[in-house]
Structure 1
Amino acid sequence: MDDVRKWLSRLKLDHLAKVFEVNQVDFDTLRLLSDGDLRDMQIPLGPRKKLLTAIKRLIDESGKVLAPISGERSPTDHPVLRPGRFNRICGPHGP
């Protein structure tokens, strides 16, 4: 939950941290939230739009989910394990 609290603080929405805590939204769940979910959490329109924009930024162009702000790296963040990387190094048929 600390990752979510830090993320909200960076967005200047730290006053919503308790709402996320009460709803048991961790950093992995955060990435799955929709407008309807945020509305169900009774988050007002302005902050809701900011949150949705920031959530979209958590996923880059390739669809890879980025690591939490704590600096932890997901396995697909590793340069060798990145999707498509194997084909660029070894070709479509392997080494």
Structure 2
Amino acid sequence: ETSPLETFLASLHMEDFAALLRQEKIDLEALMLCSDLDLRSISVPLGPREKILGAVRRRRQAMERPPALEDTEL
């Protein structure tokens, strides 16, 4: 079974970092709390770090402002 972290990383084509994050005991919830400095400290290179942090920001925004639900009943 694929973890939420693995699914998140796969959506970014960053599956290669799953093992490193697991080694550091970082799941998706913890990744959502990580800063640039945190990821730098575990040797995530600049390019992937920026992509991951950008996706984290977008996910955080989506979670804070979920889309309005529409009634599909006529």
Q: CA deviation at 1:59?
A: 1.3
| Deviations 1:6-55 (CA, angstroms, capped at 9, x unpaired) | 11011000011001100111121111010000001100010001011001
Q: In the alignment, which residue of structure 1 is the partner of 2:54?
A: 53
Q: CA deviation at 1:65?
A: 8.0
Find the structure with the greater CA-based Rg: 1
Q: What TM-score, normalized to structure 1?
A: 0.62
Identity within the alignment, % = 30
Amino acid at match of 1:47: P
More RCO (CA 8 Å, sep 6+): 2
- The structure 1 segments of at least 4 consecutive aligned residues displaced by more than 6 Å after TM superposition are none
Judged with a 3 Å threshold, the aligned counterparts in structure 2 of structure 1 residues 40 and 33 are, in CA distance, closer, same or farther, namely same
Q: What TM-score, normalized to structure 2?
A: 0.78
Aligned length in residues: 66
Judged with a 3 Å threshold, the aligned counterparts in structure 2 of structure 1 residues 42 and 65 are, in CA distance, closer, same or farther, namely farther
| Residue ranges of structure 1 left out of the alignment (5+ in a row) | 67-78, 80-95
More helix by proportion, 1 or 2? 2
Q: In the alignment, which residue of structure 2 is the partner of 1:41?
A: 42
Within 5 A, what are the aligned runs for 1:72-83? none
